[in-house]
Amino acid sequence: MQSQGVSSHYWQGRPIWAEIDLDALANNVRLLKSQANGAALLAVVKANAYGHGAVAVARTALAAGADRLGVICVDEGEQLRRAGVTVPILVMGHTSSSAAQHLADLSLTPTVVSSEMALALARVASERGIEMPVHLKVDTGLNRYGLSPSEAADLGRWLRDLAGIRVEGLFTHFASADEGDKSYMVEQHRLFLSVAEQLNWVPIRHVSNTATLLGMPDMSLEMVRPGLGIYGCYPSNHVKRSLPLRPVLSLKGRVARLTSLASGESVSYGHTWTAPRRSLIGLVTCGYADGLPRALSNRGSVLVRGQRAPIVGRVCMDMCMVDLSDIPDVAVDDEVVIIGRQGEEEISADELAELCGTISYEILCGISARVPRLYLRQGRIVSKQTLVLELQDEVAANVPEGVLAEGPSPGGA
């Protein structure tokens, strides 16, 4: 008897896939927006929406009430524009001044941290007779990207009189919002507000990531920008579980082959695991090139028939092996759950992250493009995407009018 679950029989492609629960995603967006004290919500969909698929996530988030989208680079913004997304998209990371024309072509909102970038944008705006919105980033202590408080205030005042440029937003990023001690975050917030007071004509201020929104919703200001929470994960154990977020992604496969080993035989490269008894070994076609960290070698587990099966031997580039000796009636094609729930058991991205000494963000973002994505509503596939199959249009069916264009993006992108 094959293990139960809708996934085990309705996907006939490569026997490793990610299921993206669009209902859970929409639920998370609605919950997070309800926490924001009336602020607008910018859904962060950088890094292929944390491995979930940027286009499908963007469409679903917008349908659930997100107002804007956030990416890290121009290419990510262009991908969304090519998919017909028309809402404002903030490019939160560094962009070269040489990209000013392209930003205008795509109607993207850049983050500006230099007069050089501002002048390049102003020249383009003048040539086209348009006004370009920009956001200023204040580095209040993360010491990563942005301007010091005094530099940000000076640049903001200068930009106010620069023709063709409209400073629409001002933001910062907290360094320790997901830690128990909030004193550093509070100081960053104070520094940010001191800049905002000097630039009090800027209409949108935003500082709240998922951790801040969950733990300190009074910091929501005019806009919040959750990332990880949209995908149903909490940033750390120090963050309040003030909302019942639901995990969006499951990573699944099938038992591709069964091999019986005698006591003393080994598995995979380097002979790092030796069978202590006669053992039944299952092959799973998921390896570190798919996003299964090699650090899980001889440490992690998967779920088969509702039971945990340990990963044995080294995780390979394209596959791994699991010990199925204690699971009765296991068979080729049985469903394997790498991330997600099966029966009463669950393996979370947080669990894998802890075993690997990292964070759930890295686990999710590490799921590679060659892993098929299946998009589900009410347990049914409504769209799928693989390396050779473009995202189908069903995901866009419930997006409100005005956030998707029918044709190519602005500028013919």
Catalytic residues: 46, 269
Report the Cα–Cα distance between both ends of the chain, in Å, rounded.
50
- The CA distances from residue 395 to 18, 27, 183, 275, in Å, are 16, 15, 42, 46
Alpha helices in 248-328 (DSSP H): none
Contact status, residue 134 vs residue 167, Cβ threshold 8 Å: yes
Instruction: Give the torsion sign (CA, 178, 179, 184, 187).
Output: positive
Which of 36, 43, 37 is CA-nearest to residue 230? 43
CB atoms within 10 A of CB 263: 10
> DSSP readout, 117-170?
HHHHHHHHHHHHT--EEEEEEB-SSS-SSSB-HHHHHHHHHHHHTSTTEEEEEE
Phi and psi at 226, nearest 5°, equal: -70, 145
**What one-letter code names the amino acid at 382?**
V
